[in-house]
Amino acid sequence: MSPPHTIRRIVLTGFMGAGKSTVGAILAQRIGWEFVDADTVIESRAEKTVAEIFAQRGEAVFRALEVEAIREYALHDSLVLALGGGAIETEATRKLLATLDRSCILFLDAPLDILVARCLAQPAAAERPVLADREGLLRRFNARLPYYRNAHLTIATAGLSPQAVVTRILEAIEKRCTTVAATQGVPIR
């Protein structure tokens, strides 16, 4: 299944463990688009891991690098872009996403306990600075939820394989484009 031609890019948001990177890579492969993970862009530019950037330069510097990386890729065509879970907290990123034309912003949703369990099951769990801050997790999650919920589409991922999430995403995009086109004559903005 291909996305409707009115859509030029798909942006994946959601908390850590939502599956943005895994799902994004499978989605991009399925529709023949490029996949870019914002964290990977930041790491290759800084020649440091996200954990090293947090530890050596602080979260504020990481967030500034994150906005730059997103700004550079957000206008690419035929692109699936996975944002880091905290990107949405930065106002400049939210403004950028709000102005993107012909784009579909997707929130991959799951309850916090499932997200944390998924992260802890990954070999790189110890390298997640935000996961290490257990006391701050719920606060961050609650602060971000309203922003995640501003996405065009929300996909509930609990209990679904990444492949099944991709199928749900494509179905939801197809349905939304049909509905929006029928009622307003415009594509997703």
- How far is it, in rounded angstroms, from Cα 157 to Cα 128? 21
Within residues 23-82, the interface with ligand S3P by CB under 6 A covers: 39, 50
Tokens of 9: 């890019």
Specify the residue, 18 or 177, whose C-beta has the smaller distance to ligand S3P: 18
Q: Which stretch binds ligand S3P (CB under 6 A): 3-11, 13-21, 97-105, 151-159?
A: 13-21
Asked whether position 162 contacts ligand S3P by CB under 6 A, the answer is: no
d(CA 115, CA 183): 36
> Which CB, 124 or 164, lies closer to ligand S3P?
124
Kindly list the distances between the CA atom of residue 18 and the CA atoms of 1, 5, 72, 165, in Å, as whole numbers in the listed order.
23, 27, 23, 11
> Is position 3 an interface residue for ligand S3P (rule: CB under 6 A)?
no
**Is residue 85 a contact residue for ligand S3P (CB under 6 A)?**
yes
Are 94 and 147 in contact by the 8 Å Cβ rule? The answer is yes
Binding site for ligand S3P (CB under 6 A): 16, 20-21, 39, 50, 84-86, 128-130
